[in-house]
Chains A and B, each alone.
Chain A
Amino acid sequence: MKVPYSWLVEMLPDLPNKIDYNPHNLEPILAMLGTGIEEFLESPTPPDGVIFGVVLECTPMPETHLYELLVDVGDGTSKTIVTGASNARAGVGVAVATPGTQLAAHQSVDMDGQGTVVGIREIQGKTSWGMCCSPKELGIGEYAGGLLEFPANNAASGTILSSLWAEDVVLDVEITPNRADALSVLGIARDLAAFLKLEVKLPSGGLASYHDTNFPVQVEVLEPESCPRFVARMAKGVKVVPSPAWLQRRVTNAGMRAINNLVDASNYVMLELGQPTAVYDAKDLPEHKIVVRPAKDVESIISLDDQPRVLTAKDLVITTPVNAESRVVGVAGVIGAKYSAITDATTDVVLEAASFNPVQLRLTARRLGLATDAVYRFERGVDPNLLLWAANRYMQLILESGGGEVVPGHFDVGGEQPRLSVPFRPGFANEYLGTSFSSTDQKAALERLGFLVDATSGEVWTVQPSTNRVNMDLEVDLVEEVARMLGYDAIPETLPNIRVNDGVRGVDAPVKATRALKEVLVGLGFQEIVSYSFTNTLEAERARVPAPVLELQNAQSTERTHLRTQLISSLLNTAKVNRALESLLLFEVGNVFPYPISDSNHPGEERLGLLMSGAFAPKTWQAGINGGFYAFKGLLEAAAHRLGDLLEVHQHPNAPEFLHPGIAGEIFWNGVSVGMIGALHPQVAANLELSNNTLVAEIRLPLPTRAWNFKDPSRLPSALRDLAIVAPNTTPYSHLEQLTKKAAGLFLESVQPFDVFAGGKIPEGHRSVAIRLEFRAPGRTLTDTEVDGAMQNVMNAMREVGLEIRG
């Protein structure tokens, strides 16, 4: 929200003195109140040489889009000025850049567009003395479709315009959603006054009024919970004219566009007090009756902005009877109907100042896609007791600018709304904050905010927050206000004095285990990566990983439409990014979402993904160390052993499509299937332009753990025996190991393959696997007979399944 500093100072005359006359010093003060300043904007004054003039005559120039203006520029002098602006007309005040005026280059957007110095020019045969300017040309506002206009009586012709439109500093403040009360200049002023102990000079109360049951405009509210209060006022014989310069300047600097006195006054009141209002042309309410009711299901209107709007029974509308029909004149608090909008011809106006249900209004505005300044305030909560002030202030402003007569009195449905009463214990505030604020200070703090404090009953006070405060119904809400007023800096620093419940001890075991795993992998040379959880179907297709399941409703780009199903795809992307490197060892721990939508409670699954490409150690002047499957697997085995776990890999019974079908294993961690390992399928490698020598693994976390017992190392020698088995290539080593372990008896300590080869005398499709068996008995030395017997059993077992033992 934009707050012009001069406006703030008008309400806080003592503020400049408090802040050394430097508006930038407000930043830390507002921060201590919870209001951040996003930036300070310099709002300039019009350039030197620009004066106030009054258009006496306006003549269209034949065969052009131009007008010839006769402008009173003061001292009884009139000048001819040619303009192309479509809003040029006789009887209005304009900003005249006299010849010699320097306009910044980017500001002269129309006319000849090039000179930055305004001169006397021949335009279409007419001598134009200077130039009538738009707000943008003057550098004081946005282009709004034409010349900057004023009422003809705004100032004497020839007045230097900068005397009507002084420079200013505008504070762009960020108001948190709980501070609806601060969405106005008055709101900010009140907060500052309460904190800095200043007096607020309230804006004018406007034209005082009274509820008149016979008021010429009658209002009926069908559902009071949708509209707790509605005030109507009326003015007759009003002229639609430009707003005076002082008002235009404030509205413009607050970020809105000046349009005419009736619209600007409504915006002005909202910016000043925080209450949005709506203005209707009284002729469009022929029976002078307003009915607030839910919209019909379905009812459509054309809104002010010429858009058709379809409404439902959930929306609240302002209607009026026209020829026995209920006609919608506005969507409550959101947007008016084009039908009843004021025009240049409007003379009688009906003003609505109302209070609406913020939730209902928000839902309507969202559905209609309308995010106006009024909606912003209404959905956060507007003080229901502000609206009469706002209505009276509005009437005062339009009477000053547009003349006419204000109909005495008003019609009020709902009336004054009561304050809440909230019990509050100053002792609790201190206990909650850890402070030692005195009761006197706490009471004064709440009172400075305009809250009513009844402290007569001792420890439990009754506090009545002002009705402009939302979310102020709990004791802790008041505690925050006390802290805010007395300063968050006064809160001391202590540490919690609690002992945690035994039931939560050990809850961090999974996080600790993951950290230990990561540390081992880093120690083995793996680099950790962290990738986006997003993917898209094409990416999944190219990597041949399972198609993504969870899809975003509101994807940001075609790259990020789904959640990933496999870490592999992220690792492959990273391998691609780092293709220039000869060797890669990567891992990522992250969540994947491979579950069908039907499993709608599934939170995702944490996994470890690993990738190796290229050599384990690249060749330099030294030979390097090969990568490949067994290096990759060996690193995983080392990781498992480092963690005290057992890792086995078996031929994958159902190899994923992204793996080479002949190099695909299922990983068993302490005997439990946890994932897969293998070589990247050459087709995937080709799709992603990666080397064929890429290996990947993916493992579900947390990993199964293993019971552990201390074993005394034996000091007795072991017996070693070697055995060579000829087996078909389709018989995995793990099968041979299983057979061996099963047949060798209790004293087999370990089995290790030490040679695998094919060719030579080995039949086609077979290979020779040589294994070394180590036997040991606890507490004694095994005899040769015992070991030979065990070996015989192993050989028999092999032969039984048709395997051949080599001599």
Chain B
Amino acid sequence: MVNEAKIEIDASSSLNELQEVKVKYLGKKGLLTAELKTLGSLEPEARKAKGAAVNMVKNELEMMFEARETALKDAELARKLSSEALDVSLPGIPFQAGGFHLITRIIDDLSDIYRGMGYAVVQGQEVEDELHNFDALNIPGYHPARDQWDTFWLKDNRVLRTHTSPMQIRFMEAHEAPFKIVVPGKVFRFEQTDATHEAMFHQLEGLVVGEGITLADQKGTLAEMAKGLFGSRAKVRFQPSYYPFTEPSADFAVYWENPRTGAAKWLELGGCGMVHPRVFEAVCKLRNDDKYAHARGFAFGLGIERLAMIKYGIPDIRYFFQNDLRVLRQFRGNLD
């Protein structure tokens, strides 16, 4: 019987067929069950012997059924898995990847560098009055220094801020020293547009006011910024310059080795200096107190687009605001 059963078990090609075979041998009316039923009519000696033999056959059959069942299940799973296979080389659903504008990335990088040095990042306003954009910054209307800023005037006689510097005044009007802030934002110049000139661009302003601040502190701070932006080999250089709201004034340049071209040179990035005493005087007048009467501090500003163009080799400043996604999407991921 075992041999016959084995042939049938091996021949069954599905779990259903196997079940039928199992019923045939081990079911209530199965062949083996029938054998067992005959035991009752036997002598005790013979019953014992036959009983043991039948049980052996039963165990053997059960093991064979189990083995076959496992094999069939494995085969079925293999078939199922094989039928579910995908071509993983086909592209996925094209979800939008998203991305920051390059200007935001640079402003965020700079903000992170300054936050690391304990600065707060604040914003000013794009439409300013003449007082904050010029007069309080020691740029009176009659002074030729005004000519340095080609200005958009509004019909209501306000201006589109020509620099982020008015926020120096506004912040000091509202807060007391000591403090360290940077102010990123849009600025506007009445300029003919070309590859390097735009009527609108971004600046980052910095202002630190506190006892004992020195021009050396300004230089060290900008050196930290340069290293943060361009790596530890970057250096900072000061050259005398003139801004009505700082005295002494300096232009600062960063020595940078371009990792893409290997070229190294000094890049003029912005202006800085010690806050002019007349700026503090103007703040005292606006605050109507003497909290800034003997204050000392440094202030600096730099152009974001210029930095971006240098660092990433962008040939034309107008790319920044045309919002062509073929351009914007290039500035994802690690840009260093």
Contacts and interface: CB of A to CB of B under 8 A. Distances in A.
Interface of A: 31-34, 176-179, 358-359, 362-363, 379-380, 431-435, 474, 476-477, 479-480, 483-484, 488-489, 491-501, 503-505, 507-508, 510-512, 515, 518, 521-534, 550-554, 556, 560, 563, 573-574, 577-578, 581, 583-585, 590-591, 593, 597, 600-604, 606, 616-618, 620-622, 624-625
10 contacts: A434-B219, A435-B216, A501-B176, A508-B122, A525-B96, A550-B127, A552-B153, A604-B126, A620-B91, A621-B90
A531 B215 contact: no
B212 A500 contact: no
Interface stretch (B4-12, B14-22, B220-228): B220-228
B56 to A, nearest CB: 51
Contacts of B142: 358-359, 362-363
B155 A550 contact: yes
Contacts of A618: 94
Nearest to A475: B277
Contacts of B248: 433, 476, 479-480, 483-484
Tier of interface size on chain B: 35 or more
Nearest to B198: A532
A523 B155 contact: no
Interface stretch (B31-39, B46-54, B58-66, B177-185): B177-185
B208 interface: yes
Interface of B: 90-101, 103-104, 108, 111, 115, 117-118, 120-123, 125-127, 129, 142-145, 147-148, 152-156, 158, 160, 175-181, 186, 188, 190, 192-193, 199-200, 208, 210-217, 219-221, 223-224, 236-242, 247-250, 274, 276-277, 296, 320-325, 328-329
Contacts of A532: 199-200, 321
B214 A433 contact: yes
Contact of B329 (A358, A489, A527): A527
Given A500-B178, A552-B153, 4 more contacts: A433-B248, A476-B248, A518-B100, A556-B193
A177 B147 contact: yes
Contact of A522 (B99, B125, B178, B277): B99
A495 B329 contact: no
B247 A477 contact: yes
A483 B215 contact: yes
Q: Which of A499, A500, A533, A617 has the most CB of B within 10 A?
A: A500
Nearest to B214: A434
Contacts of B276: 476
Contacts of B190: 554, 556
A501 B101 contact: no
B175 A530 contact: no
A504 B96 contact: no
A34 B247 CA distance: 13
Contacts of A534: 199-200
Contacts of B175: 501, 503-504, 507
A351 B47 CA distance: 153
B240 A488 contact: yes
A497 B321 contact: no
Given A518-B100, A624-B93, A507 B122 contact: yes
A508 B120 CA distance: 5
A501 B209 CA distance: 10
Contacts of B242: 34, 176-179
B180 A522 contact: no
A396 B101 CA distance: 65
A573 B148 CA distance: 33
Given A501-B178, A552-B153, A553-B153, A433 B215 contact: yes
B103 A530 contact: yes
Nearest to B273: A480
Nearest to B117: A495
B97 A574 contact: no
Given A177-B145, A476-B276, A617-B94, A493 B212 contact: no
A539 to B, nearest CB: 15
Contacts of B126: 533, 591, 603-604
B323 A432 contact: no
Given A496-B210, A524-B98, A434 B215 contact: yes
A531 B318 CA distance: 11
> Which 6 pairs, one residue from A and one from B, show the smallest C-beta to C-beta distance?
A434-B216, A34-B240, A525-B96, A434-B214, A603-B125, A498-B210
B118 A500 contact: yes
Contacts of B92: 622
B153 A554 contact: yes
